[in-house]
Structure 1
Amino acid sequence: MAIDRKARLERVLRTEEGGFLRCGGRIGRTVVSAIAVAWALFQLALPRFVLLDSITIRAIHLAFALVLVFLTIPFRKGTATSVGSSSRICAIACVLAALAALSSLYIVLDWRGISLRPGIPIWRDAVVAVALIVFVLEAARRVLGPALSVIALFFTLYAFSGPYLPLIFAFKGVSLTKYISQIALSTNGIYGIPLDVSANTIFLYVLLGALLAKLGAGQFFNDLAISLLGRFKGGAAKAAIVSSGLTGLVSGSSIANVVTTGTFTIPLMKKVGYPAKIAAATEVAASTNGQLMPPIMGAAAFIIAEYLGKPYIDVIKAAAIPAFVSYLALFYIVHLEASKLGMKGLPKEDIPRLSTVLAGGFYYLIPLVVLIAELVVLRHSPKLAAFNAILSIVALAFVVEVGRAVRTGSSVAVAAGRCGRTIVQGLIAGSRNMLTVALATAAAGIIVGIVAMGIGSMVAEIVEVLSAGNIFLLLLITAVASLVLGMGLPTTATYIVMASITVPVIIQGRSLAGETILIPAIAAHLFCFYFGILADDTPPVGLAAYTAAAIARSDPIATGIQGFLYDLRTAVIPFMFVFNAELLLYGVTSVPQAVLVFVMATLAAFAFGNATQGWFLVKNRWYELPLFLGASLILFYPALLTRLFHLDYGLRYGMYAVGLALYGLVYLMQRPRLRRIRDVDFAGPAR
């Protein structure tokens, strides 16, 4: 039964994270594996060895992705359409793959001709462009499901039918010539910024995570977390959070994070007494937030940097405080759950020795140190930093395997060959995991290109009308729309769609009083990014929740609801940093100022966790709820009081005292109740 469950989880991961390598014959598997390895090696060559123009890189990147999709993923799930399983199916798959690759590469093969006739495509251009759009939408449907393709088709229909719609939705429309020129024959559509970031940066980080996973870093992170935290109250759940956070550094995928860490941490949580639903929901909340963790955040973070024209390190800095506050708050929440359930630490025999864990896998931390040093200290570009980190992984893998062979007296050649096969498997896994991102960015590029043709201003106007110019309503609409879209889309696609529509409006948002609120662009982009991530555990279609429920054998909907309740502490943070940009270190000029903001934000998240969990020192009473919420709001956004009472803005940090006083008041109110409970427990039952 355990084997069946593990196999089912692997199928979930393959299906939802890109589906892959389901070839039915040896020749077919070899061919597809060779293409996957070639894709990975091509991407690895770009930072150091191969100099190509941007459009060529994007076209080749997309061609590889399309070929792998049509060779490995069937038209319908569950059908036997693998290469090698049928000569007829093999022929159809190969023809589709070849045509898709040619349509993707056409912009490179005839770039000179296309550039000499901008906006005036000839019949050959039109045929190839239409074919490319169809191939991209179909490949995206196979990899991601129908949602993104349907949305792209809806935007396309809107572009052509605009002149015939009611006044509020009316749009001047576009011609077929303009549409195909913009979407498939320029760098403003399919070959736009999202695909460029996918080709030049994201692939290397996905490959970095895949290599670490193949070499066993996931198990090391689990053991490290358990050895550090297992003995504390609720230690299994706390270890799950740390393990998921460490895995999230290199994963960037909620579902992969759940499968990697949850297969170990969820049974461990259940063993010490956590209900199945709580155990699964804790893993979901921790894994979902893995995409928030610097320095390797979700793929959309790299696109944010490109959209803003900022170095990626600036995005890391902006996202640092919210990410760490969110994880610390989850850590605090599981402590509250452990207190409510009367949990204790793990048995000593289940806790590995820290020295043993470090001795057996300390080298897994070296690539992360290299990566952070490259990004933060040396200030290298993200792709060069990832490239050097990957080189360090490969070198370490060979050193460790050969060193182990020398110590045990086994064959060095066999050890080197085994390590080489593991590296190749990592390259294949990296290509597999990239299918989701590559097709999401390409298909989302269709939407971005249509928005850039003038629809963006119309859609933005509709959104602004719906929000009545109220920034609070606008943010709520954006959050809800992101959660709904994210039920059927990966985070990257959700972010691209919502950012192209709502970011320009958010930046110009107004308050209830009608005064203009200046919202930094980074805050608006991260707002869309956060809610795209949270969709992974939003019922009824939270894929991460379904995966965790399969491990825990809990109800998926109940697991998703519980996980979303835990993630409320993450959902409130974007609303706060939109109004208080200091949470993103925007305008923060000193380390003490940054530390103060971080500490107060952490306490604010703790207070919010007390409110949502109904527990502090003891079970909360109804009249303590507003005190927690008030403390949380003030500690997150101290300038609120200076605005309300028309005080000097420079006094905002003094308002922290008010929030701390409210929090301390609840502590004083609950302290006597805790003392009485302890006295009863100490006295024991009446004789």
Structure 2
Amino acid sequence: MQVQQPISAQEVLEKYDKENQFRTNIGKWAWVVTFLGVSLTVFHLYTAYFGTLPSQKQGAVHLGTALGVIFLLYPFKKGMLKVQKRIPWYDILLAFLAMYVTYHKIFFYESILQSRVSGYNTLDIIISILGILLVLEATRRTVGLPIVVVASVAILYAIYGNFVPTQILSHPGFSVDRTATALWYKESGIFGTPIQISAKFIFLFLFFGVMLVQTNIGKFFNDLAFALTGRYTGGTAKTAVVASALQGTVSGSSVGNTVATGSFTIPMMKNAGFKPEFAGATEAAASTGGQIMPPMMGAAAFIMMEYLGVSYGTIMLAALIPAILYFTGIFIGTHFEAKKLKIHGLPKSQLPSFRKLMKKNWFMLLPLIVIIATIMYGFTPQRAALFGIIAAFLVSLVRKETRMSFRKTVHVLEQGARVALPVIAAVATAGVIAGVVSMTGLGSKFAAGVIELSNGYLILALIFTMIACLVLGMGLPTTANYVVTATIAAPVLINEFGVAPIAAHMFVFYFGIAADITPPVCLAAYAGAGIAGANPFKTGVIAVKLAIAAFIVPFIFIYNPILVMVDIEPGMLVFSVVAALIGMVAVSSSMIGYFIRNSRLWERFILFAAGIMLILPEITTTLIGIVLVVAIWFIQNRRSDDEYESKSLSGSITTTN
């Protein structure tokens, strides 16, 4: 795989982010797209304040309008973007057909409810088949083919389960009519929990992110991170980590975060002396963590709230310590790499003043404060998002450049709908998979298979679950990945192995996210490499090293869920967090190969083992870990002449020559 030349942020988005492969020149149909987009956003704002419709009606408006906009905006193939000068007739037909078959649930709401008892008629069956096919096609256009393949296999499994040779997975099979109507009309299918949460919470939080962009909060976060970290060793890389963590409170998109922040931070890192692969990997790893960063996190967090039956504040608190450990690992990794390459910070004269930034722009933080305060006070996420949107609108009025005219307001309302389109399509298709699991009892069959393969050992069950999450994550967006694994894998860990429910769900959530930086399919790393002009595969490997916490911490909080705020004892919690932070320093050091100087291979192994012992919240292992870290520090401190560094440097020079 050859190194590529740096390309623009927009080109990166179009290349690696399916969500950005839409038509830009659609002529008079732009008015229709604007009308549908604005109407969808206004509908969600209205129901957030006055109360939502019955779940099936709310979901029908949500999904139906989104499908209509998708077929008008997204072409059949990416290559048609430059060829087609107008929307083809068949996409217009599909747009209105998709809206009709979905709105049919609203028009004939009472008769459809009655049909659950009396049986569905031929028209109902035709509409359900068309609806499923249109959802799958819309998802293929906005998200990609892999998730559609998984959903299609699931449907075939529901119909032809009697032909599956494995006794554990086989079932009698369902007719096409019964499969289609169950997936389209019942709460366990397309209009199940995922789409309901999308219609109530996720859309509003995505629109909240659009409103924050209007206030220029992204630039403020970048400047703030630069002011806080720019003067320290490897300051440009640390700026990338802090800025991405802050951006993560606004957006839950790994690729989107990588491009938004990376277009600013990656060139800075390269100019400071970091290798292109490391610069791209740092941004990708940090941006991927945006989906686990409270308060907003990714869309999957809202679905987790519903699955677990807990408040969103509980989810936020559970995610807090793992997120701190994740970003600590990346932050420390960039520090050791900078020490290794002798990359210093920037002069104070080249950095913005933190005090001046806060004095000038402190009010930009108000929408985030409102969101956090209202959620922690006990308001529903729906109401909290509404208050946050209102606060963001008021903040936008403070400055002339962010103040919204009528035209700008319409544009922002339309963008709110556009941003949500891929998420809506993905969760609808995830509902297909979840519906098949419910119909066929695949969850219990999967549980039996895992227990048999793991022989009753929890660690083996966790490894199998991790692999499943990573493999699914190569083709499924994080939200869809979480829906599938939360439906199939998490119940196994909870019911068969006694794992705390929130720990089990956070486990599959984490590894679904980690897929975005795990080779060979690591879209966030590819996006970072595109901006940096780096080798994509090497960038992915380095991103995994930097984000090593994502692969370690989930195993730790399964065995001791105090890290996700379960069975809290204040003293033990403080001890566990401090020890885990020191442990992340040791693990990051072992990944980079530098502690107080370049580490020998055996020293790296010891540092890694010591780090794991420190992260394990037990006094004995923690003390052993501390002893090992101190021992390596003492040994490296005694190497006064950097003999190892000299040999490594001369060896690399000889090899190069």
Q: Which residue of 2 aligns with 1:160?
A: 159
**Aligned: 1:435 with 2:421:** yes
Q: 2:112 aligns with which of 94, 111, 114?
A: 114
**Aligned: 1:141 with 2:140:** yes
In structure 1, give the amino acid aligned to 2:109.
W
Distance in 2, Cα, partners of 1:479 & 1:535: 10
3-state SS, counterpart of residue 147 of structure 2 = helix
Q: Which residue of 1 aligns with 2:562?
A: 582
Q: Which residue of 2 aligns with 1:39?
A: 40
**Aligned: 1:379 with 2:378:** yes
Shift in Å, 1:123: 0.7
Q: Deviations over 1:4-27 (max 9, x none)?
A: 7244135347x42354452431x2
Q: Which residue of 2 aligns with 1:493?
A: 480
Q: Which residue of 2 aligns with 1:610?
A: 589
Distance in 2, Cα, partners of 1:528 & 1:357: 39
Q: How does 1:52-451 map to 2 (within 5 A)?
A: 52-80=53-81, 85-86=85-86, 89-118=87-116, 120-168=119-167, 169-376=169-376, 378-401=377-400, 418-451=404-437
Q: Which residue of 1 aligns with 2:655?
A: none
Q: How does 1:522-537 map to 2 (within 5 A)?
A: 522-537=502-517
Distance in 1, Cα, partners of 2:255 & 2:513: 11
Distance in 1, Cα, partners of 2:14 & 2:606: 47
**2:511–2:550 Cα contact (<8 Å) kept:** no
Shift in Å, 1:354: 2.2
3-state SS, counterpart of residue 117 of structure 1 = helix
Q: Which residue of 2 aligns with 1:9?
A: 12
Higher mean displacement: 419-428 or 161-170 = 419-428
- Summarize the Cα distance change of 1:545–1:4 in structure 2 as closer, same or farther, 3 Å threshold: closer
Distance in 2, Cα, partners of 1:332 & 1:442: 39
Distance in 1, Cα, partners of 2:64 & 2:23: 17
In structure 2, give the amino acid aligned to 1:575.
F
Distance in 2, Cα, partners of 1:557 & 1:187: 41
**1:214–1:422 Cα contact (<8 Å) kept:** no
**2:22–2:81 Cα contact (<8 Å) kept:** no
Shift in Å, 1:623: 3.2
Shift in Å, 1:172: 2.0
Higher relative contact order (Cα pairs below 8 Å, separated by 6+ residues): 2
**2:68–2:98 Cα contact (<8 Å) kept:** yes
- Summarize the Cα distance change of 1:564–1:655 in structure 2 as closer, same or farther, 3 Å threshold: closer
Q: Which residue of 1 aligns with 2:649?
A: none
Higher mean displacement: 229-238 or 468-477 = 468-477
**Aligned: 1:466 with 2:443:** no
Q: Deviations over 1:522-564 (max 9, x none)?
A: 1111111111111112222211112111111111111112112
Shift in Å, 1:360: 4.1
Distance in 2, Cα, partners of 1:126 & 1:286: 47
In structure 1, give the amino acid aligned to 2:148.
S
Shift in Å, 1:576: 1.1
**1:21–1:32 Cα contact (<8 Å) kept:** no
Distance in 2, Cα, partners of 1:399 & 1:292: 31
**2:233–2:344 Cα contact (<8 Å) kept:** yes
Q: Deviations over 1:312-331 (max 9, x none)?
A: 11111111110111111211
**1:136–1:442 Cα contact (<8 Å) kept:** yes
Distance in 2, Cα, partners of 1:255 & 1:291: 11
Distance in 2, Cα, partners of 1:421 & 1:272: 42
- Summarize the Cα distance change of 1:180–1:562 in structure 2 as closer, same or farther, 3 Å threshold: same
* Stretches of structure 1 lacking an aligned partner (at least 5 in a row): 405-414, 510-516, 639-651, 682-687
**Aligned: 1:476 with 2:463:** yes
Q: Deviations over 1:75-127 (max 9, x none)?
A: 111214999x34xx443222211110111122222221122221621111101
Shift in Å, 1:3: 11
Q: What is the RMSD of the two structures over their aligned residues, measured on CA atoms?
A: 2.3
Shift in Å, 1:246: 0.4
Percent pairwise identity = 37
Q: Which residue of 2 aligns with 1:455?
A: 442
**2:9–2:259 Cα contact (<8 Å) kept:** no
**1:74–1:142 Cα contact (<8 Å) kept:** yes
- Summarize the Cα distance change of 1:61–1:576 in structure 2 as closer, same or farther, 3 Å threshold: same
Q: Which residue of 2 aligns with 1:660?
A: 626
* Stretches of structure 2 lacking an aligned partner (at least 5 in a row): 647-657
Shift in Å, 1:358: 2.8
**1:171–1:458 Cα contact (<8 Å) kept:** no
In structure 2, give the amino acid aligned to 1:397.
S
Distance in 1, Cα, partners of 2:287 & 2:319: 17
Q: Which residue of 2 aligns with 1:408?
A: none
- Summarize the Cα distance change of 1:243–1:672 in structure 2 as closer, same or farther, 3 Å threshold: same
- Summarize the Cα distance change of 1:80–1:656 in structure 2 as closer, same or farther, 3 Å threshold: closer
Shift in Å, 1:381: 0.9
**Aligned: 1:571 with 2:571:** no
- Summarize the Cα distance change of 1:594–1:568 in structure 2 as closer, same or farther, 3 Å threshold: same
Number of equivalences: 639
- Summarize the Cα distance change of 1:437–1:77 in structure 2 as closer, same or farther, 3 Å threshold: same
